[in-house]
Copies of this chain bind each other. A is one copy, B any other.
Amino acid sequence: MTLHVDSHRLRTDFEALSGFGATDDGGLERTTFSEAHLAARAWFHERGRAAGLETRVDSAGNHSVVLPARDVGARTLMLGSHLDSVRRAGRYDGALGVVCALEVLRCVGDVGLDLPVALEAVDFTDEEGTLAGCLGSLAVAGALDEEILAAPRGGRELLVSELARMGLTEEGMIAARRDPGTLLGYLELHIEQGPVLERAGIDVGIVTGIIGAASFRVVFEGEARHAGTTPMDARRDAAVGAAAFVLGVRETVIRDFPGCVATVGDVVTEPGSYNVVPGTARLRLECRSLDCAEQDALEQALTERAHAEAAAFGLEVEIERLGRSEPSPTDERMCAALEEAADALGLSHLRLPSGAGHDAQSLAAITPSAMVFVPSVGGISHDPSEHTRWEDCLNGANVLLNATVALARSAG
């Protein structure tokens, strides 16, 4: 037996949700606590109540719709994602997972299944990092520490003022921690945000883990000199050293760290005039691996490469780590449940790591967690042109529904 979501209802809701913060280019912008974001969260609760479900907001601002179990002491299986977005975002990232989680609860309620666990569809606060990144899910996992709150991605000042504006407090954020003993697990549906499923022609992806990431600020220092009067052999050109490093990062990863990625995503030279030899080049580097030891080795190899290229061109280099998240493996039993659901639905599936961060990496630290990916057309995400074919959305929702029911029943 397989269950199927209500495609029309799900699609109508997804279209309605896409209207909050919609931009002319077909995308949307719903940064954390923006007017559009708050409206989307309110809409999510309204849709839950319209389906006869309970709604809750915890002290981290996480918004939940809940289908309680008959037994008030029953554990909870959480399904979730996030309704906030990056700037110039697409419609699918996060939002699809929340609306599918809501639809799963409605389907279970519609059919009148008497499950031995409560189901909770969660919209986590600030996954994308307008303020800090995975703020709500880290709070739930009890992983919000002083380090994160002291130097959040969007700056301390913004965090403090935005929490205050929302009537939230740092004490409240920390108090949002959930007792792991009350949880059965966590499932998240998300778009892949990469090209792997589409290229392989596979219906759904089963996520083996969320890879770790470290980010660095790298500054090469040479000497700013007149571009006309300084012979090539008398230059200490910071842009040249930075260029050698950009190529070196790519070469190192491809040659020595297959499966990893590293990116110099931000390069700026100073003073930035075409007729001055650059004295300074500022780069931001990021590298990701699914394995802690490999992540260590990768970071060390790239750091050594920066020093080697600086030395080769007579430059100084400073490297500062901006942040690091550890790799988070998913739960084998929950992955198997997702695969069994896909098999029962006749859908092809593939195990793959998630190169992007997700709320599931917070939850994985305290409860069995897993993710199902649906294909991203062209591998595009964080862009208004982000797109997933509707039948792929539907396939993912059906996998989520059937795995949820199977896992919930097995908890009885």
Contacts and interface: CB of A to CB of B under 8 A. Distances in A.
A372 interface: no
A225 B245 CA distance: 20
A131 interface: no
A410 interface: no
Contact of A229 (B237, B242, B265, B355): B355
A276 B194 CA distance: 12
Point out which of A230, A240, A356 has the most chain B C-beta atoms below 10 A from its C-beta. Answer: A230
B232 A193 contact: no
A196 interface: yes
Contact of A274 (B263, B277, B357): B263
Contacts of A382: 226, 276
Interface residues of A, number: 63
A246 interface: yes
A247 to B, nearest CB: 5
A43 B285 CA distance: 52
Interface in A261-281: 261-269, 272-278, 281
Given A240-B250, A250-B240, A227 B286 contact: yes
A263 B234 CA distance: 13
Given A269-B266, A383-B224, A239 B231 contact: no
Contact of A232 (B234, B242, B254, B267): B254
B227 A263 contact: yes
Nearest to A129: B275
A268 B268 contact: yes
Contacts of A285: 274
Specify how many copies of this chain sit in the oligomer. 2
Contacts of A314: none
A265 B288 contact: no
A356 B286 contact: no
A356 B226 contact: yes
A392 B194 CA distance: 63
Contacts of A225: 194, 379-380
A369 B162 CA distance: 65
Given A225-B379, A228-B213, A288-B228, A277 B250 contact: no
A192 interface: yes
Nearest to A228: B355
A150 interface: no
A394 interface: no
A253 interface: yes
A267 B281 contact: yes
A247 B243 contact: yes
A147 B187 CA distance: 64
Contacts of A246: 239-240, 242-243
17 contacts: A194-B229, A195-B231, A229-B356, A230-B261, A231-B261, A232-B262, A239-B246, A242-B243, A243-B247, A263-B276, A265-B273, A265-B274, A266-B278, A267-B267, A268-B272, A274-B284, A275-B286
Given A194-B226, A233-B254, A234-B379, 17 more contacts: A194-B231, A194-B234, A195-B230, A226-B382, A229-B356, A230-B355, A232-B253, A237-B263, A239-B264, A239-B267, A240-B246, A242-B243, A244-B247, A266-B278, A273-B284, A274-B322, A276-B382
Q: Lowest 8 CB-CB distances: which A-B pairs, in order? A: A194-B229, A228-B355, A274-B284, A243-B246, A243-B243, A229-B355, A227-B263, A193-B229
